[in-house]
């Protein structure tokens, strides 16, 4: 398995002979208006892609989309992705994606297959309280195949009972989490904080944690430097990877 962070939560993955794209945010920097109710108000994405979007969508065997917020599936992705590419999503998003013209949308209620891959859908909470309830439904995915490490992509979620249950059930070798403590002017963070990443690393001591979703959208409040400093304090720098945009994550378990 080879995993490369593109930007934000957008990943490319070579897994069991397949080339996959996860949560494609492919807009050029500054294309979108600031997210409402955030401060400071910054246009999004806040950084450019490390390589042209046209290259990222070539020769794909599948696309996985955890939910349809624009920092996970945007207008450039809608425009550039081949209409016949297998597109795995949560059931709540299938109608919209078919309406966008995609012919091979595969809503995943619980578990399915993509070639040699088995994909299980997981749940999460995109925040707490009223804000969490108002956000769009989100999901994650667990990918497994013979002779490959098991990968859990948690998606846009805080550390919650559903995440703990997914770790206990699937015992993943690699866990990708959306960190950065993104938040609105009011309310708690809507993705994982440094505290959540540390707690998850303690919960899954045999897994490599890969923290993404950093420094690419305007409402993220914790930086890579913040997270790395915390990991250094906790003695977790070998257990949690914090990759730069465009870099491949070295997977010791692969």
Question: What is the full DSSP assignment across the chain?
Answer: -EEEEEETTEEEEEETTEEEEES---PPTT-BPPPTT-SS---BSSS--SS-HHHHTTT-SEEE-S--STTTS-HHHHHHS-TTS-EEE-GGGHHHHHHTT-S-EEE-SSEEEETTEEEEEE---SSSHHHHHHSPP--EEEEE-TTS--EEE--S--S-HHHHHHHHHH--SEEEEE-S----SSS--SS--HHHHHHHHHH-TTSEEEEE--SSSTT----HHHHHHHHHHHT-TTTEE-PPTT-EEP-TT-
Low-confidence stretches of the chain (pLDDT beneath 50): 253-254
What confidence score (pLDDT) does residue 254 get?
A: 40
What confidence score (pLDDT) does residue 136 get?
A: 81
The region that residue 43 occupies, defined by phi over 0 for left and psi between -120 and 50 for alpha, beta otherwise, is beta
Structure-token pair, residue 81: 């992705």
What confidence score (pLDDT) does residue 167 get?
A: 98
User: Distance of CA 138 to CAs 48, 150, 234, 242, Å?
Assistant: 25, 21, 30, 23
The structure's pTM equals: 0.96
Q: What residue ranges define each of the domains in the chain, with the CATH number in brackets?
A: 2-243 (3.60.15.10)
What whole-number distance in Å separates Cα of residue 152 and Cα of residue 214? 18
Total count of residues recorded for the chain: 254
Residue 143 makes CB contacts below 8 A (sequence gap 6+) with 13, 15, 117, 118, 119, 150, 151, 152, 153
189 cis-preceded (ω within 30 degrees of 0): no
What whole-number distance in Å separates Cα of residue 251 and Cα of residue 229? 22
Tens digit of pLDDT for each residue in 230-244? Answer: 999 999 999 999 999
What confidence score (pLDDT) does residue 252 get?
A: 54
Structure-token pair, residue 76: 């450039």
> Could you tell me if 179 and 148 are in contact, meaning their C-beta atoms sit under 8 angstroms apart?
no
């Amino acid at each position: 398995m080879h995993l490369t962070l593109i930007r934000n939560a957008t990943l490319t993955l070579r897994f069991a002979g397949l080339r996959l794209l996860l949560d494609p945010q492919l807009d050029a920097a500054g294309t979108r208006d600031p997210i409402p109710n955030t401060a400071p108000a910054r246009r999004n994405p806040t950084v450019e892609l490390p390589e042209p979007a046209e290259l990222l969508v070539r020769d794909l065997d599948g696309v996985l989309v955890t939910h349809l917020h624009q920092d996970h599936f945007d207008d450039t992705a809608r425009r550039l992705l081949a209409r016949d590419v297998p597109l795995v999503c949560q059931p709540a998003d299938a109608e919209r994606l078919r309406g966008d013209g995609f012919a091979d949308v595969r809503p995943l209620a619980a578990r399915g297959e993509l070639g040699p891959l088995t994909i299980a859908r997981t749940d999460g909470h995109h925040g707490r309280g009223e804000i969490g309830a108002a956000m769009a439904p989100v999901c994650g995915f667990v990918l497994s195949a013979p002779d490959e490490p098991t990968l859990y992509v948690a998606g846009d979620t805080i550390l919650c009972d559903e995440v703990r249950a997914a770790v206990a059930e699937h015992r993943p070798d690699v866990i990708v989490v959306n960190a950065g403590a993104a938040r609105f002017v009011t309310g708690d963070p809507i993705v994982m904080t440094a505290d959540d990443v540390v707690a998850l690393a303690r919960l899954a001591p045999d897994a490599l944690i890969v923290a993404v979703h950093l420094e690419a959208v305007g409402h993220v409040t914790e930086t890579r430097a913040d997270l790395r400093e915390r990991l250094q304090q906790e003695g977790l720098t070998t257990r949690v990877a914090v990759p730069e945009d465009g870099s491949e994550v070295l997977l010791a378990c692969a």
